[in-house]
Structure 1
Amino acid sequence: MPTYIAFLRAINLGATRKFPKDAVKLATEAAGGTDVETYLNTGNVRLTSTRRSAAAVARDLEQAYAADRGFEVPTVVFTPAEVVAIVARATALADQYGPVKNHYIALYADAPSAATATAVQALEVEGERCVVDGRAAHALLHGNIHSAKLFRAKQFSALGVGTSRTRAVLTTVAEKWCTDVD
C-alpha cells in the first residue's frame, strides 16, 4: 500500500479548533488510513492507504476530520518522494540565498498557475522572497512569520489556501517518515 504524508491546516489554534494528535490518529484510521503516525500537534500525519492518489486521500481525510471535529480541516497530501524533493529544494535555496532567520514552506493541494508563481517570485519585500516549486512555496524571511510583509502581499495570497511548516519541521518529517525513498 502506498504511504502518504498529510499536513492539516489551522488546527489547535484558539479554543474552537482543537484536534489533539490522538484524535487525529483515530479520525485518520476512520478514513481508511493504516500505520498512522503523527508528529507534533500541528497536524503532520503519516499513513498508508489503499487509495492510489494523494488527492483521493486528502478528500477522504477532510471528510473524516470534518465529521469528527465539526469544522473543516483543509488537508494537503504528498507522497514521501515529494516531501523529500521539497526538503532538497529547501536545502538548495539555503545554499543559493544564504542564511535567513526563518524559512517557511507553504504547501498547497494544487500548484499555482505559472503566472501566479512568477508574480510572487518577482516580489522582494524588505529582503523577504518567495520561491515557488510545484505545490510548495518557500518563504525566505529575515524576521519572524508574524511580522513578515511577504505574506500580506496580494501576489502571495493569490497562491491560494495552503498550510505552512518550517524547513526544520519538514526536514524532520522527511527524516522520520521518508527514509525508504530512493
Structure 2
Amino acid sequence: MTTYIALLRAVNVGGTGKLPMSELRAMCESIGFTNVRTYIASGNVVFESKLSEGSVKAKLERCLETYAGKRVGVLIRTGAEMVAILEANPFKSAAPDRTVAIFLDTPPPADTLTTASGRKTEEIAFGTREIYVHYKDGIGRSKLKIAAAKEGTARNINTVATLAEWATA
C-alpha cells in the first residue's frame, strides 16, 4: 500500500471550484482509497492505495469531473516524495508562509526562468517536478507569472510540511 497526496488545482480559491472537503473524502473512499484525510479547504487529500500514481490520478480526475462537470486538475505525490520535496526546499531560512512549492506533472522546462515575467525580489529554484518560489515581499504583492506553473498548483511550505508529516505518520 502506498501513501499518496493529491493536490487539486483551483479548488475553493477565490470563490471558484467549490468542493466541500467532506465530499472529497467521500469521493476518494468511493473509488477505493483508504485512510483518507483532507487538510484545509484548498484541496489537499492524503490516502492509501495499491494503484500506481498514474492510475490514482486518472481515477480521481474522472471522479472529480463527474462531480464538477468540468476537468479538475490533480497533482499526485507519494508520501516519500513529499518528504523529499520538503527536505529539498532551497529557502529553508525563509518564512514558510512566503515560500511555495509549485507542483507540476513533469520537470520544470529549461526555459522556465526566461519565460517568467513580473519578477522583482522573488527567488526561484527547481525541484524534481516542482518550482520553489520565495516571495520576499509577500505573495499578495507579487506580480510574478511563471508560464510553466499554469498547469501546476502551489502550496506554501507550512502546508507541504503538514502533508509530509501526515503521509509518514
Range of TM-score over shorter length: 0.7 to 0.9
| TM-fit CA distance, 1:176 | 2.1
**What is the TM-score normalised by the length of structure 1?**
0.82
Q: Which runs of 5+ in 1 are unaligned?
A: none
**What residue is the counterpart of 1:102 in the other structure?**
98
**What residue is the counterpart of 1:145 in the other structure?**
139
Q: Deviations over 1:8-53 (max 9, x none)?
A: 111113555210110001111222211111111111111111212x
Contact 1:28–1:65 (CA<8 Å) still a contact in 2? no
**What residue is the counterpart of 2:3 in the other structure?**
3
**1:105 and 1:44 mapped to 2: Cα distance?**
14
From the superposition, tell whether residues 71 and 13 of structure 1 become closer, same or farther in structure 2 (CA, over 3 Å): farther
Matches within 5 A, 1:28-107: 28-52=28-52, 54-90=53-89, 92-95=90-93, 102-107=98-103
SS in structure 2 of the partner of residue 59 of structure 1: helix
Report how many aligned residue pairs link the two structures: 169
The share of aligned pairs that are identical, in percent, is 28
**What is the TM-score normalised by the length of structure 2?**
0.88
From the superposition, tell whether residues 100 and 63 of structure 1 become closer, same or farther in structure 2 (CA, over 3 Å): closer
**What residue is the counterpart of 2:24 in the other structure?**
24
From the superposition, tell whether residues 117 and 23 of structure 1 become closer, same or farther in structure 2 (CA, over 3 Å): same
**1:166 and 1:42 mapped to 2: Cα distance?**
11
- Read off the aligned partner of 1:64 and give its amino acid letter: C
From the superposition, tell whether residues 29 and 117 of structure 1 become closer, same or farther in structure 2 (CA, over 3 Å): same
SS in structure 2 of the partner of residue 158 of structure 1: helix
Q: Which runs of 5+ in 2 are unaligned?
A: none
